[in-house]
Structure 1
């Protein structure tokens, strides 16, 4: 027996022999013992206060919750978030697992009570083909994933032949869902399509690798790069270099996360509008870069776990405005039957962390221009605003289906972005590979700068000239520094 163990045992014996010792020590250090006792196992932990007056004032003013539902909305935010598990979609034995769960494990829960409360039996999501599960996940049979997190991949509507880019992929639950979609046809062992999963944090990229490894798919590549300036890739087609454009892009951007209050308790204490104001520019840059790399006719899903229109509708409206008709919002209201959602806002205001409101950009004093940008406000032109159809955006409120808060918008690309279009070549003149391109708004919150973005083979430039030209631009260092969470 070591010296420390003998000393500890001797001290215990002395305390047993002196029953008044505890009282004597309490008198000498009563305050300290009381403080410790308040946090002891017997006393329990202090109750977490789930209140934030500024949060309530902000969202009541913006009217994101239907009239008469505010109390239910706040009550849902204060309740713990239910756990949701998804059975892997492309495993051949997925149906057998579901059958086993329903007939063996779920039946045992029907009459089970814990502390006088009846345990709820897991139920399938009405709007999702996915099902619930409760078995170990290391073998890839199931994935633990929040219910609203399953929505973006489903709305992406990916097929086995699609080239997919997941711009901010970590920790990888949505990426895994996309991989499963590629393998939806079990008769095709090696689909034509693939998923490129990107994240700016190389430690989080290890999580992506772990997720992909469980699924044993050859159709996944993990990339560590800043999503706001992720470089274009080239592929070899019949011996020629062609720029890779993606059929589907998932743009699940970093956000303030106030829709996750049910599981991230710290949000109650730390919430402020400053988080949204600081993230807006980054979110817009990432979405813009994604739109540049989307193929014509392709679909991009923009999503956040934030309820704030500065991170949601403001980003979509600004992207649509600068696209000049190249992008449009798709109406996906019928694609997930049973899903309850609220349409996007067409009017909103901007509030500082001190509670000061601004309805228009002209109202913002010059001293606030570094914090508040014009892209945070709705478009002034009523006709332009109406043509955007922001009501096609989906906002998921926690009290409607016992989920977290979420926002999602589906964009379809009709043609090239305006800054990527080359002017028509005059007759009789040859194309100059060194001719300057129209600038790309790599930082839409500040202004237009040169950015080597989308260069399409339909511009009349040969593949050799295009490669030379884009290489020169990239070497000039026109990319901006940034992070994507």
Structure 2
């Protein structure tokens, strides 16, 4: 097991770093800050509450020495492991934790970055925007906290980073996320009244991440924060105008620089009189969190022309409502959080108001950016002919190419079905995603090909429970154990029901460790599991618990 030992060479570098000069101005306990900032982070994990193995996962983490982290919030099941990040005591434990992560049972995530989703406090049926979403840890946490039944737009302009977002959504089997690709500074209009909640976790200098990004000790300069300030402000301004009256917006960074934090907050309060900075009830929402209040004197951190006019006292006085977290307080990374409320009395978000002369005409849409479409009657009949009626199927079905997708009903109800008026004043019909560029929607439920029947995918079986009428076989634990040990069981050694079944994709129905589970399998000359190696490894570990 790797321990947190002092790195004396790095400590000397840290003492002469530009970041440390910044911290000195912040009046932190410098020795303590350097002590913790030069140590590796502990391994921290967020458990997926909608996975069937939720209780087993918690039990396994407890067995491995994990301790519950209460201060990230009451609804998030977070654990700190007794080793540094990536430093589990043996290769078998490392493999198990990686397989549990890859199979969607938990997510490896830095503890402080779990706080914003807790403050969003999402509810089923709400519409939520994560404006800068990749790699997806916060978007997926929001979906989990809303019981995977909200309408979440996870936006990421960069294609490479967007792929990480898709991967994380996929491994968790979440259906309530639509992934879009827009520059958040110009995020498009959405149907009225706007978003219930918005998370603005902007690109930042990362000065709070030095425990894992050690290169910052040598590479960070104040100019980096200055270069990001305008981008951060424009993103946050645009998101503010998409927030519906009464809605909540959480602004967060993993930076300690006031130029990226309190200065942004002050400018927002100055520009939008209908925004108010809420005081976060830490004792109630984040019990045990150690933190500092936001700073209200940032003269040492800004240049003379940072503000076009002097900020008024009303804005400055609210900055104590912000939260600053330094690494020494909770053995974590550094973080900043501010929570806004739209206190305006109008019906719709600021940028979604209609002018009196609108609509000025109608506009037909010839395409929808290649986004998923509702499942056609023809494809639905093929699906039902193959599998019959799916019980407990509470989402809606969509298609894209050879893929059939399940998404939460609220995604379609908020962002696809409503008619709307575009920014030019033209009436757009309902039943389209435009102007949203939806690159991925919900979770992959089924895939078909020219040569094989429609197959249910593992994603479909990880979260909300549903099952078909046809091609589903109850098996005993001994059958699954044999499949895990031998990979294949010859058909002549199976029950008569298997021998009378057509060759192809089937589902195995088993009462396993944590209750009823459905597992995809393939039946041909023998029976084999259609599971990846990570899922098999976890099932083998659970099998060992039975013995």
- Same fold by TM-score greater than 0.5: yes
Question: CA-to-partner distance for each residue in 1:277-316, whole Å, 9 max, x for gaps?
Answer: 1111111111111111111111111000000110000001
**Of Structure 1 and Structure 2, which has the larger fraction of its residues in strand?**
2
Q: Which runs of 5+ in 1 are unaligned?
A: 1-44, 107-120, 185-190, 235-242, 352-356, 362-372, 426-430, 436-462, 473-485
Alignment partners' CA distance in 1, 2:423 and 2:259: 39
CA distance in 2: counterparts of 1:78 and 1:349, whole angstroms: 28
Q: Does 1:338 align with 2:288?
A: yes
Identify which of 252, 259, 264 aligns with 1:303.
252
Q: How many residues align?
A: 340
**Pairs within 5 Å for 1:376-455:** 379-386=310-317, 389-415=318-344, 431-433=356-358
Q: Distance in 1 between matches of 2:423 and 2:26?
A: 50
Kept after mapping to 2: 8 A contact 1:62/1:348: no
Name segments (4+ residues, structure 1) moved above 4 Å. 45-48, 416-423, 463-468
Partner of residue 168 from structure 1, selected from 110, 113, 132: 132
Partner of 1:145: 109
Q: Hey, what's the Cα distance between the residues in 1 that align with 2:169 and 2:419?
A: 36
SS at match of 1:83: strand
CA contact (8 A) 2:189 2:351 kept: no
Change beyond 3 A, Cα 1:403–1:342: same
1:277 maps to which residue?
Answer: 226
SS across alignment from 1:84: strand
For residue 123 of structure 1, the aligned residue among 67, 80, 104 is 67
What is the correspondence of 1:141-290 to structure 2 with a 5 Å cutoff? 141-183=105-147, 191=149, 193-234=150-191, 243=192, 245-290=194-239
1:77 counterpart residue number: 37
* Structure 2 match to 1:27: none
The residue that corresponds to 2:500 in the other structure is: none
Verify: 1:95 aligned to 2:28, yes or no.
Answer: no
Q: Distance in 2 between matches of 1:212 and 1:468?
A: 31
Conserved in 2, the CA contact under 8 Å of 1:325 and 1:414?
yes
Are the counterparts in 1 of residues 70 and 78 from structure 2 also a CA contact under 8 Å?
no
In structure 2, the CA distance between the partners of 1:288 and 1:78, relative to structure 1 (3 Å rule), is: same
Q: Distance in 1 between matches of 2:349 and 2:241?
A: 10
Give the structure with higher Rg (CA): 1
Output one character per residue of 1:164-215: Cα deviation in whole Å (capped at 9) or x when no partner.
111000011111101111217xxxxxx2x22111011011111111111112
Secondary structure of 2:42's counterpart equals coil
Aligned partners of 1:332 and 1:392 also within 8 Å: no
Q: Secondary structure, in 3 states, of the residue corresponding to 1:233?
A: coil
C-alpha deviation, 1:328, in angstroms = 3.3
Structure 2 stretches of 5 or more lacking a match? 1-6, 82-95, 361-417, 428-547
TM-score with structure 2 length normalisation?
Answer: 0.57
